[in-house]
Amino acid sequence: MLRKNNIRRLLAVLLMILGATVMYLTLKTWAGMSLLALGVALEVAGIALRRRG
């Protein structure tokens, strides 16, 4: 895993922003629901990286 806290923190923030953007742009279709799932996964990954730091 990443050992440098600054890089980990930056990556966590970028993942959370990307996840929120994907969740904001989803549509009410199956493709939108898969994008929503991707957004949630990115948010969870960002939060997990942030908590480890």
pLDDT at 52 (0 to 100) = 66
Please state, in angstroms and rounded to a whole number, the distance separating the CA atoms of residues 28 and 31. 8
Predicted confidence at residue 21, as pLDDT, reads: 80
The whole-number pLDDT of residue 46 equals 80
pLDDT in tens, 2-38: 567 778 778 888 888 887 887 777 767 777 778 778 8
Angstrom CA distances, 44 to 18, 29, 31, 39, stand at 11, 23, 20, 9
What residue numbers bound the domain in which 34 lies? 5-52
Judge whether 26 and 53 are in contact, CB under 8 Å.
no
How many domains are there within the chain? 1
d(CA 8, CA 22): 21
Say yes or no to pLDDT of 51 above 80. Answer: no
**pTM: predicted TM-score of the whole model, two decimal places:** 0.59
19, 13 contact by CB (below 8 A): no
pLDDT at 12: 80
